[in-house]
Amino acid sequence: MTPEEIVQKQVDAYNSRDIQTFVACHHPKVELYNFSEASPYATGADQLHNIYNDVFINSPQLHADIVNRMVMGNIVIDHEKVSGRKGIDSLEIIAVYEVQDGLIAKARFIRKA
């Protein structure tokens, strides 16, 4: 799969709240960052599973729309509008995904305040 294809597969799994497919799109040692922070807030498939399983269970109307996507090599940058996430009506996010060996290895998120 290309970097864009694996990121899209992850978005599709997010929208269907399919935790197994969602986690399978990520490297076992995936790192998740808030954009301005040097240390990840989550590391590894187990932490990823725990965070997003909670989101999926508690967000029956969860949906992310991709407003814009840019791809350069193994980097995919999405501007996302997310609705229904744990009771939040709307949320805008810039997600920067780094793909290695066909899986998302790092993700950095900028959330609109």
- Tens digit of pLDDT for each residue in 69-109? 999 999 999 999 999 998 788 899 999 999 999 999 999 99
Domain count, the chain: 1
Nearest partner of 100 among 8, 28, 21, 13, judged by Cα: 28
Question: What's the CATH number where 32 sits?
Answer: 3.10.450.50
- What is the strand order of the sheet 42-43 is part of? 42-43, 26-34, 103-111, 88-100, 75-85, 63-72
pLDDT band at residue 110 under the 50/70/90 scheme: very high
pTM for the full model?
0.94
State the residue range of the domain holding 56.
3-111
- The confidence score (pLDDT) of residue 113 equals 59
| Per-residue exposure over 7-20, b if at least 16 CB sit within 10 Å of its own CB, e if not | bbbbbebbeebebe
Identify the burial level of 21 via C-beta atoms within 10 angstroms of its C-beta, where 0-12 means exposed, 13-18 middle and 19 or more buried.
middle
Predicted confidence (pLDDT) per residue in 52-68, tens digit? 999 999 999 999 999 99
The larger pLDDT score, comparing residue 112 to residue 56, is at 56
